[in-house]
Structure 1
């Protein structure tokens, strides 16, 4: 069910809804959605299964289908690690990917600030502060593209650092639900949100198809109230789940349709 140019915000999907490479996924999704989130689960140096992609071909697909891209940065970047060399490797990987993908005009690079379980909280936060300061200095104005995502711990732990060093927020609404975090506190960040992830939670499992039309309607109203015009990515990893979610939103977000 195509949802291109349907809502005041751009509706997106991940580059992992088919059991195939990035290019195959992007070609399949381009007629259906406004944005594709390019997923990089591992940094290049640690990847056991590198995913080949062609930046020029991705750009041509985008131009042909009025498509934009967001990027999920590797989830193995340890910006809070105790070893400075490990932190700098993470920063270097962010800068490398951003440079490589610059021709695509990526709208958001989503970043996890992993909790270091072997470090006291204060030491972890001190290391994160040093990394974010260095990354902010290296990026300059481009830091507006790197959005820090809420994950399993309460976002309030890192929110002051994210704001201090000038990074926007990637709000994962599904994570708020899955980890039992306060929805109102999370939605209170919308004025700072550059990218929003949305997915269902079934039987304690995350990244499932959407199944709560009432919740979807509430989220749509909140997005409309703040005038959100960024990307809402349906962050799930099968075409069946994506199509079911698009069908639910076709009804739940009908009042926000621009058609």
Structure 2
């Protein structure tokens, strides 16, 4: 699974990866799955993972994961002619799964949003896409919406016109929050640029942070400093390892010191409880990551 790889910031499309998920068998499919132990309600944080652990649709994944974890990150996308946006029936089924398993959802808003774009048409279209996703998933009562402040270019400066980009973000956020959702539900994810660039917007609008451990380390930024600086505003953690300079691998790829920092911070949150999303995309990486959580996480008393 590569369409959430940190290399993809909305400037290119990984349609082949998306297509591979959209065309797989869904209801009634029979396949061998790994035996995975449940870690539900075990830790002082909500343990979660993505809606693409099995190569199947949202409902199949939700039913598989609901007895195992506390939260599922719904990875929703639209790209060219490919989409996994749930219809009303799927939303109802997801509601039923959550109610019967004490499950919550976080929603990853679409990649490729240009909320800071100087192109007003593109900016407005991005706001509309985000709002449509919020409205679509409203019945699920998500506990967080994961949002990328994607740049116009890669690297330490998201835009050649930083003041214009920041201005565009401010206007877009005003539009998003005008719908009445609590600002703290929107969690801005750490990407490949220095996150301090968006500090003024975080504080101005009262937004939360989604600290992506893999993105932070892959970008060469100090994990300890990020954890300390954003301690009180991190609502969601995205955790995944890095192998051969590629992220979204199992947590076993992280160093012991990095795991110590992550779990030390996780279990001392202002938000009670925070969400730890194992942002991996297959059963093996999920199982291996759970083994790490089992060894590192301090169970509830």
Please report the TM-score for the alignment, with normalisation by the length of structure 2.
0.79
Corresponding residue number in structure 2 for 1:161: 201
Query: What is the match of residue 269 of structure 2?
Result: 226
Cα distance change of structure 1 residues 123 and 52 upon mapping to structure 2, 3 Å threshold: closer
Whether the aligned pair in 2 keeps the contact of 1:22 and 1:52 (CA below 8 Å) is no
1:10-159 matched pairs, under 5 angstroms: 10-42=46-78, 46-53=79-86, 54-117=90-153, 119-136=160-177, 138-159=178-199
Describe the SS at the equivalent of 2:146. Answer: strand
Farther off after superposition, 181-190 or 216-225: 216-225
The Cα shift of 1:107 comes to 0.6
Provide closer, same or farther for how the CA distance between residues 225 and 156 of structure 1 changes in structure 2, counting only shifts above 3 A.
Answer: same
Query: What residue in structure 2 maps to residue 237 of structure 1?
Result: 281
- The partner residue of 2:248 within 204, 207, 222 is 207
Please list every run of 5 or more consecutive structure 1 residues that lacks an aligned counterpart in the other structure.
Answer: none
Query: What stretches of structure 2 of length at least 5 have no aligned partner?
Result: 1-36, 154-158
Q: Matched residue of 1:25: which SS?
A: helix
How many residue pairs are counted as aligned between the two chains?
A: 253
CA RMSD of aligned residues (A): 1.7
Runs (4 or more) in structure 1 with deviation over 3 Å come to none
Q: Normalized per residue, which structure has more helix?
A: 1
1:132 Cα shift?
2.0
Alpha-carbon distance between aligned partners in 2 of 1:213 and 1:11, rounded to the nearest angstrom: 20
* Equivalent position of 2:299 in the other structure: 257
